[in-house]
Amino acid sequence: MTDKLTIALAQINPKVGDLEGNRQLILEARAEAAKGKADLIVFPELAMSGYPPEDLVLNQAFLDATEATITTLAEATNDGGPALLIGAPWRKNINAGTAYEGKTLSSLDQDSAAPSKPSFNAVLLLDQGIIKTVRVKHDLPNYSVFDEKRVFKSGPLPGPINFRGVRLGVLICEDFWTPDCAVCLLESGAEILISPNGSPYEHDKTSTRMTHAVARVTETGLPFVMINQVGGQDELVFDGASFVLNADRSVATYLPSFRSHIGMTHWQRHSNGWLCDVTERCAPPNGAAAIYQALVLGLRDYVIKNEFPGVILGLSGGIDSALCAAISVDALGSDRVWAIMMPSPYTSKDSLEDAEKVAQRLNIRLDRISIEPAMQAFDEMLKQSFKGRPMDITEENLQSRARGVTLMALSNKFGHMLLSTGNKSEMSVGYATLYGDMCGGFAVLKDVYKMDVYACSEWRNGNMPEGGLGPSGWVIPPRVISKAPTAELRPNQKDEDNLPPYPILDSILHSFIEEDSGIVSVVEKGFDEAIVQRVKHMLNRAEYKRRQAPPGVKITLRAFGRDRRYPITNGFREEGP
């Protein structure tokens, strides 16, 4: 039995499916932990495969390769260095019947055998050259962005892992959000609770995690370790922000947010249990600072992990495209960002000047391609078909589509991924053009309300994000932030010609989307009934557009696509007060 323990927390950024790349990340983290004389290094949930692997874990060849890679990692621990506590998808027929401290893998699947769900979400202890112990996730989340019940099998309530005389209670992510597994581990003799996580970022998520962790510590009287993944994966971004709570609920360690990091924690056994020494404690960002850093990380990983040479975007002189350009430069560097200004006869001199100022401040390439020839060509081509019909939104949409075609042509020709620059407020009410400004491979502001666009722009002008590759100081001209938003598709057009003021619109949308409120309850908050009814109508009618929108970084409780899935064909009409 030992009275001292050094546990390294490996807050790493794996890539889903990249087993060799992830293996190298794991070995590099282990080498760093070895320099700190760690006894054990703990990795996030499913660090071997990357999280979330989705239907990849239904592929038997992938599971074969994962298990082979785990075997090589186990062999690497035969050098006397740190043991690995690592997450991976794991099938029951590997080492079937072999006892892992009283639990047999063959006993884990008595009630859930199904060929379409071949594996468990597991954590494996690799030490002294072998796979010492396997524990599997009990509580599979099946809400919001999670659908683990679709691809994994649920395991039994866990028992502790005996590691060099210390009984470690492993709670895999969702297992720590409710008391059952923690209490079971306490009753089974666990001394330290360790929770490998794949917990995506969203507004106020850090405080929610801490609340659940404090509850588990309070119920068990045991110290608690939460190790979380960092990085972007499709629409999700993981913020890390791993931490350690002692049994008195005090914070011993808090790792940085939104970046990879290896944290060393030092533990001592006392008469009343284990105590972690206080080490680094990095306060997590909040508000616009957290949103901005989440967007930078999400975009950076989407571009880099998918091996795009850079991004291209339309720079209109408005705040949305200016913020997208700033995020892109902070994520990728100015040499990988290409902006196109596409004026029409309705484009103002201010917009042309503002776009140029943004490009100059960010030091990015800016080309100007007029869409007026395309507008004239469409007018001529459709003149006979449109004969007798007045100009309306059709001609406005053609302008947007001419821009979309132009940007997609450049993207196809040169390989840069096209960024869509629309925000959540616009997408909520359908203030966007299919095959026009909705064109793109990634929508960086897809889950960012308009008022948060303003907040992020103000924040970036006064702050430099950690690890950002752009210039310091202001990057979005004050006039871009202060002027009235406009699509400039007709003379003197303003967004508020068609929409309520954004502070009101965003509040109503938040009630409908994040809170699932009904019309009556929203009106009771003090909003005009006619406006509420109109916003709800627009929200419902725009579902078909949102289904065709590109992916984008999720930062709110309910993002369109993975979270909020309303039927397009929907006959329900809610009555007002």
Active site residues: 45, 137, 173
Residue whose C-alpha is closest to residue 450's, from 495, 489, 410: 495
Outline where DSSP puts E strands in 171-260. Answer: 192-197, 224-228, 230-233, 236-239, 243-245, 251-254
What is the distance between the alpha carbons of residues 394 and 451, in angstroms, rounded to a whole number? Answer: 28
Rounded to an integer, what is the distance from CA 387 to the centroid of its chain?
49
Beta strands in 423-477 (DSSP E): 442-443
AA letter at 88 = A
Amino acid code (one letter) for 118: P
Q: Cα torsion at 9, 183, 189, 192 (round to 10°)?
A: 20
Could you tell me which residues come within 8 angstroms of residue 215 by beta carbon, excluding any fewer than 6 positions away?
179
Query: Nearest to residue 331, comparing CAs of 343, 340, 319, 323?
Result: 323
Instruction: Please choose, from the candidates 54, 16, 146, 50, the residue with its C-alpha nearest in 3D space to the C-alpha of residue 562.
Output: 146
Report whether 571 contacts 533 (CB < 8 A).
no
Give me the phi and psi of 457, to 5 degrees please.
-65, -45
- Report the alpha-carbon distance of residue 45 to residue 148 in Å, rounded: 13
**Chain position carrying tokens 């690497």:** 76
3-state secondary structure of 220: helix
Question: Kindly report the CA angle at 7 between 173 and 5, in degrees rounded to 5?
Answer: 130
Structure tokens at 169: 């209670």
Please name the residue that has the structure tokens 């989307």.
Answer: 513
Angle at 9 between CA 555 and CA 217, to 5 degrees: 80
Rounded distance, CA 516 to CA 509, Å?
10
Alpha-helical (H) ranges within 333-371 are 349-362
Q: Are 320 and 421 in contact (CB under 8 A)?
A: yes
CA 199 – CA 191 distance, rounded (Å): 24
Find out whether 560 and 427 touch, Cβ atoms under 8 Å.
Answer: yes
In whole angstroms, give the CA distance from residue 294 to residue 202. 9
Strand spans (E) along 315-466: 337-341, 365-368, 417-420, 442-443
- Tell me how far apart the alpha carbons of residues 182 and 157 are, in angstroms, rounded to a whole number: 9
Give which of 208, 133, 117, 199 is closest to 169, Cα–Cα: 133
Residue 245: both structure tokens together:
């709570």
